[in-house]
Structure 1
Amino acid sequence: MTRLRLAASPVAGESWIHSGWYVEMTELASRTTWLNGPTLAYTSFGGLLFVALPVAAFWAVRYRAFVLIAPLLATPIAAIATYFAVIALKRAVAQ
C-alpha cells in the first residue's frame, strides 16, 4: 500500500499549503474573476435541478409500483440535504 506524502515546503517555515497545486488553483481563481458569478450561482441554485428532475420523474410514475417511486422520493431529500451541507461549508470557509 502506498502512502500519501505531502510535497516538501520550498521555503523553510512554510506549510505545504503554500506550494504546488494549492498555489496554482488560487492563481487560476484570481485570473478568472469573471467565473465567480456563474460559479456562485451554480453552487447556490444548481442543486435545484437535482430536485426538479426526480420530482418530474415521480410525477410520471406516480400511479405505478412503489418500488419505482421510493428511490425517486429519496433523491430530492438527499439533494436538499446536500444543499444545506454546501451552504454550511460555504459559511465555514468564507473569505
Structure 2
Amino acid sequence: MTSSTATTTQALDGASIDGSLYGDVTDFAKHTHWLNGTVLAYTTYGVALFAVFMLVGWWIARRKDPSVMAAALAVPFAVVIAYLVNSGIKSVFTEPRPCRALPHDFLIEKCPPIDDYAFPSNHTTVAAAAAAALFLINWRLGAVASLAALLMAASRVYVGAHYPHDVLAALVVGTVVALAVTWAARRFATPLVVRMRGGALAPLLTATA
C-alpha cells in the first residue's frame, strides 16, 4: 500500500458522521438564494470583525486593572496559537472537504485544494478563540463576539465549506486554547503590565496616564 493510499484510508470520513445534516443545510442554502451573497461575504471577510472586537477589548482594558490589560494584550496571541493547534489537528485527521466527498451537493464557496482539510474549521476556531478570550475582558463584548462566532460557524456549513462536526469541534478548540492562553497571561503577565504602565507605553495601557 502506498503512503498516499494509507493517508486516504486513515482520513476521517466526515460524510458518514453528519453528511445528511450537511446536505440539509446546503439544500436550505440552495433555496435561499437571496441570502447567499450576504453569508458568503460574512464567511469570507467576517474574521476582520474580530480584529475590531480585539481593539474594543484593548480600549476597555485601558480603564481596568492590569490583569485585564494583560488579558487584552494576550487575545491576538491566543487566536494565533488556537489557529496553529487547529492546523495541527487538521494534519492528523486529514478529513476531505465535503465538496469532494459529496460533490453533488449545493456549493456556494469554491472548493479548496485537495490538501486543505476540513476538520476542524480554521475560520470558526479563530472566531471562537477571540470570543472566548474577550469574555475575560468584558462579558458584554464577549457575548457579542460569541454571537458573531456562532454565525461564522453556521456560515461555514451554509456555504458548503464544512460539515457541522467540523465547526463544533472548532468552537471547542478555539475556546479551550484561548481560555488557557488568556488565563495564563492574566496570571503571569500582569506584573509586566504594571511596569509598562509606569513607562513610555503608559498612554497605550491606561486611560489615566
Q: TM-score, normalised by structure 2?
A: 0.27
Structure 1 residue 63, shift from structure 2 partner: 6.6
What is aligned with 1:68? 68
**Structure with more contact order per residue of length (Cα contacts < 8 Å, sep ≥ 6):** 2
The residue type paired with residue 35 of structure 1 is L
Alignment of 1:40-79 (within 5 A): 40-62=40-62, 65-77=65-77, 78=79
The residue type paired with residue 44 of structure 2 is S
Distance 1:42 1:48 in 2: 10
Distance 1:49 1:29 in 2: 23
What is aligned with 2:169? none
Where do 5+ consecutive residues of structure 1 fail to align? 1-14
Structure 1 residue 30, shift from structure 2 partner: 1.2
**Percentage identity across aligned positions?**
31
> CA contact under 8 A between 1:57 and 1:72: conserved in structure 2?
yes
Distance 1:24 1:60 in 2: 41
Structure 1 residue 16, shift from structure 2 partner: 5.0
Structure 1 residue 39, shift from structure 2 partner: 0.8
What is aligned with 2:22? 22
Q: Give the number of equivalent residue pairs.
A: 74
Change in Cα spacing, 1:71 to 1:32, as seen in structure 2 (3 Å) is same
Distance 1:25 1:63 in 2: 43
What is aligned with 2:39? 39
The answer to which of 56-65 and 29-38 deviates more is: 56-65
> CA contact under 8 A between 1:54 and 1:75: conserved in structure 2?
yes
The residue type paired with residue 53 of structure 1 is F
The residue type paired with residue 61 of structure 1 is A
Runs ≥4 residues deviating over 6 A: none
The residue type paired with residue 62 of structure 1 is R
| Cα displacement string for residues 6-50 of structure 1 (whole angstroms, at most 9, x for unaligned residues) | xxxxxxxxx858x74333222212111222211111112222222
Structure 1 residue 68, shift from structure 2 partner: 0.9
Distance 1:76 1:52 in 2: 11
Distance 2:25 2:32 in 1: 11
1:38 is paired with a residue whose SS is helix
Where do 5+ consecutive residues of structure 2 fail to align? 1-14, 87-96, 98-110, 119-159, 162-209
Q: Select the structure of larger CA radius of gyration.
A: 1
